[in-house]
Structure formats: structure tokens, C-alpha cells
Chains A and B, each alone.
Chain A
Amino acid sequence: MPEKFQKTKISSGVKGLDDILNGGYFEYNSYLIAGGPGSGKTTICLHFLEEGDKKGEPSLFITLGEKEEQIRKNASLLGLNLKNVEFLDLSPSAEFFTEVESYDIFSPAEVEREPVTRAIKNKIESLKPKRVAIDSMTQFRYLSTDVFQFRKQVLSFLRFLNESGATVLFTAEASSDAPDDDLRFLADGIIDLSISEIGKQLEIKKFRGSDYLSGKHYYEIRNGYGIVVFPRILPLEKKVTLTFEKLPSGVPEIDELLYGGIERGTVTIISGPSGTGKTTLGMQFIKEAAGRGERSVLYTFEESVEKIIERSSLVNIPVNQMIKKGTLEIKKIEPLIFTPCSFASMVKEDVEKNKTKIVMLDSTSGYKLSVRGSEITTHLHALCKYLSNNGVTVFLPTETKNITGDFQIAQEDISYLADNVIILRYIEVQGELRRAIGVLKKRLGDFEKTLREFQITKYGIKVGEPLKNMRNILSGSPVLVKGK
């Protein structure tokens, strides 16, 4: 490698991928894009060349399979502009079939390698591209007499391209007959694409010279956008100094329970059976935040936006006004549209762009049912930790199955996520169903150990005095204490 070539990083052109690669590809290196049919290998290459074209860099696509016309057409459908990208089309023409141009007297390695090599060499020398994509390198296997020759030819070919000043992406079509293990050793980096019933995932398997965000990241191929990658969220990524100031609820009795309020940047589970007022309680904190001019976002997995607006207005929480002022946004999350990473990316983008201070995910069971994928709880944990580390206060309304009786914080094992746990419970008093509120946990401070009656009225939330005249409240059937 000539010393004059300094190794800097260049953008991949794919949204989200540069974050995973810590800036992009190294110049004058060669990267393998591996994956099955339809995984997006060619599209990743096209993004790469489009990015080069945008920067005025000569870019070349060498195709040995698909015709140039088809690639350009597909690129256009995906919203990619390849106007100035040059093509070297080495794919078989229709005449090969119609003119019966098949042969078997000599091997393809002897017949076609020289013309292919000459065509590539001439194109490289005339265009001097800075970015080259080869789709796919597997085809060159059939132009080699044996495995050793193939390896030697690929290595020397890549060196020729890199030394001519190009950064190279090449694809491989691995199969049981032609595994791509040798190409993996030759490449400076490997991006593995896979498709499962959950969705499409991308993983960096190798990246010489730099660290990268390891693990699997979801991606999508969207018309008009091409490939969009959703890097898995880094919980420890921190961009703000944390203050942990107390955020009041606006209801004095709740603030008494919490000894002042919920600390900013903490995660609070609001636990309770259906209908106890979990969402309403979360909205109360959001209403108070709106009064301070702070923006909140409610992600609703179950209820529609209209129902939430209607419900809240009936309990003196002016959601419509908050939405108009920009201090609240309610996003309905439709089932099975998002993967954990794409959802987290959306939340992260909103927080960073709009300086959102409070996020409520209503509810945790709704999140688990709506978001498709595996290890959902782990992803929820990562998202909450990221938000918390960036000073965003998180509310997680969490439904418990039992109306009364056996006590549990949540149906799923998520209590470890929470810095704070507020419980809402039904209690039966003299034949009447009432509600109680209490605090079970507060990581960053002390709290009142009593339970209080909790009411939702047309004037808003009302919380009574501590229920010191009762015991067995959490069983759902409290007993009056004699003499009180």
C-alpha cells in the first residue's frame, strides 16, 4: 500500500450502519457483504456507490449476475440515485442461451478469465474509481481451476483495486457447494446479513483496524429509503450530566408518599390491575412536566390516541392543549410493525432531536406483545437504561393479573428495571371497590411506607390520608384496626 494513502473512514451511505462501524469503512480496504438471497447485499453496495457519487467520487459497479438495467431499475424503486455510477456488466447475455453459446471443451477458467480480467483492468485504468462494488465474487470461483488459484486470484484482484485507490465492497453467495470461508479470511471486514421470521438482521463479524458495535442489529429494506439499519441501543451511551432533581406530580399527597417526587432520569414502574389508573397517574406527572415547559412522549401499545385524549380530558388532564403546545406527543404503536431495535431507534431519535424529558411506554405487556422479536425484556432494559443515562424520566405502567390477593409487581420479570415502584391496588371496603396507592421502592431516596386511598375524579387525581386504620390492605380485603 503506497504511503501516500492515509487510512481514513468513509461513509457507508446506509442510515445507521456508520454508527455500527464507528464511522464507516476504512479507505482502500475490502469488505465482504455476505447473506442469502434477498437479504440486501446488492442494496448495501448500491448505497455505498451512491454515497461516493454524492461526493463526486468515481464509483464502479461490477456485475457478474444481474444486468445493469435491472440493477438500476431496482435501485430507482428503492429511492437510490445512481446517475453517475459507472457499470461494468459482465453478466451473461440472452444470446448465450439463444445462440447456444454453451461450451465444455475447455474450462471457464481458461476461456473467460482472460477477457474478464482484461475488461476489469481496462475499466479501472480508465475510470480510476474511488469506490468499487463487485456482485458477486463467487462467480470468480468458476473462473479458477482450483481453490488455491481462486484464493490467489481474489487476493491479487483486491490488492490491484485497493492499490489503484479504491475501497471495495464485494458480495458472496455462499452455498453448501461453494462456501465462502476463504473469502471471509481475505476480507478486511465482514457484514453478515440474515433473514429470519422475526426480521432482517445484520452483524459485523470482522472489522480490521477498528472496533464496532457488536451483536445483531435489525434492518429494513424500504421503498424510497433503501436499507435502514437500527443499531442496538447502547445503554451506557451518555450525553448529559445527570442531576436527579425531584419531579413533583402536582398532587401533594403523592409527593408526600414520594418524599418530594420522582427523581429525574429514573425508571418508574406503575404497577396495578386493569383500571386502577396507571396511565392516569403517569399522565399526571406528564401534565406537571408540561407546566414546566418540558416535552413528554407517550407510546401507547393498546389504547388509541383518541381514547387517551378523551379519558384524560375527563379527569382534568388537558391532553389536547399539551399536544398543541408541543409538550406532549402520543404515538400509537401498531402491533408487529416494529422490532425492538427499530422502536428503540425511534425513541432515541425523538429524545435527541426534540429534547424529550419524559417517556411513558403504556404498557410493558403491550410493548412485549406489539414489538416483534426475541429477548424483548433485554431490549426494554437497554432502552430504559439508555433513556435513564440520558436524563429522561421513564414511566412503565405495568398490569398485574390479580385484581386482589396475591401480590406481584408485574406479570413479567421486569421489576429489576425499575428505580421506583408505585403500586395501585383495588381494595374492598364495606362492599365497595376502592383503590389504594403506595410506594414499594425508591432507589435514590426514602419514601412514605403507608398506603393511601387513591381516587380518580373529574377534577383529577385525589389521594387521601395514610390508611393507618386498616391492615391487610394488599390482600384486597383490608380489616379495620380496632380502636382506629
Chain B
Amino acid sequence: MATILILSKLSKNLELMAEFFKKQGFDSISASSYEDLDRILSSLSFDVALLDIGGFDSKIWHYCEKINKHGTPFFIISAVKNPKIDKEGLKKGARGVLVKPLVMKELNEIIKALV
């Protein structure tokens, strides 16, 4: 069963995504801080990462590079369509930048295409 790393500052976002992925037959690991990411990146493995960057500072790009070095596909999730975020995200190796709110059906198709 594939495992998805989900990152978000909002706990309810994490809860909803975990619930959604469980229904789709996926496991998930939740993170809401850099400390969580450090812990997860050092000890756990995952197949895809979804990074909701809302509320995080520019340090998040460093973590994007780390995930990219692992060879794990990841997506940036942003609250708004922003060319700067698009550019930076793709530069750091993101497969794409998704804008909130996500459509469940589309998210499911994206994840299934990657795992």
C-alpha cells in the first residue's frame, strides 16, 4: 500500500487528507512543522509527498530539495496561483503546483498515476 506524506499547518487539512487517502486505499504520514519533516525524512519512507506551503517560510524550499534528492515525487499545494511559487516549486523538483481547494477526484487520479 502506497504511503503519502502530507504537510500542512492546518490540522483539519491533515485530518481531511488522511481520511480521504484512507478511503482511496493509501496510508499517510502527517507533518505540520519543520521538526516533523526532519523526523520523517530521517527515518520514514513514503512514495509521494503533498506539501501545503501555506504558513511556511522560504525554508520550505530547502525541504523540497531534500525530498527531490530522495527521488520521491512531490507536489506543492498553494492557496493562490502565483508565478513565483510555480517557478520556485518546479525549480526545486516539484511535479506540479496545485491550487486549493483541491478537487478530490482529480487528486485521486494524480496520486494513482504516480504510485
Contacts and interface: CB of A to CB of B under 8 A. Distances in A.
Nearest to A102: B12
Interface stretch (B37-45, B62-70, B84-92, B96-104): B96-104
A101 B8 CA distance: 13
Given A104-B10, A104-B54, 17 more contacts: A100-B10, A100-B11, A100-B12, A103-B10, A104-B13, A104-B79, A104-B100, A105-B10, A105-B13, A105-B17, A105-B101, A105-B102, A106-B20, A106-B102, A106-B103, A110-B104, A111-B16
A349 to B, nearest CB: 57
Interface in A102-120: 102-107, 110-111
A103 B13 contact: yes
Main secondary structure of the interface of A (DSSP, over half): loop
Main secondary structure of the interface of B (DSSP, over half): mixed
Contacts, number: 38
Contacts of A107: 101, 103
Contacts of B8: 105
A110 B103 contact: yes
Nearest to A111: B16
A202 to B, nearest CB: 40
A143 to B, nearest CB: 13
A102 to B, nearest CB: 6
Q: List the 7 closest pairs (A to B, CB-CB), nearest first.
A: A103-B12, A105-B13, A107-B101, A101-B12, A103-B13, A104-B100, A106-B101
A101 B20 CA distance: 16
Contacts of A111: 16
B111 to A, nearest CB: 14
Interface of A: 100-107, 110-111
Contacts of B102: 105-106
B52 A105 contact: yes
23 contacts: A100-B10, A100-B11, A100-B12, A101-B12, A102-B10, A102-B12, A103-B12, A103-B13, A104-B101, A105-B8, A105-B10, A105-B16, A105-B17, A105-B52, A105-B100, A106-B101, A106-B102, A106-B103, A106-B104, A110-B101, A110-B103, A110-B104, A111-B16
B94 interface: no
Q: Which of B54, B79, B104 has the most CB of A within 10 A?
A: B104
Contact of B77 (A101, A102, A105): A105
B74 to A, nearest CB: 16
A107 B79 CA distance: 12
A106 B16 contact: yes
A106 B102 CA distance: 5
B17 to A, nearest CB: 6
A463 to B, nearest CB: 88
A52 to B, nearest CB: 38
Q: Which of A100, A104, A107 has the most CB of B within 10 A?
A: A104
Contacts of B11: 100
A104 B14 CA distance: 10
Nearest to A101: B12
Contacts of A104: 10, 13, 54, 79, 100-101
Contacts of A102: 10, 12
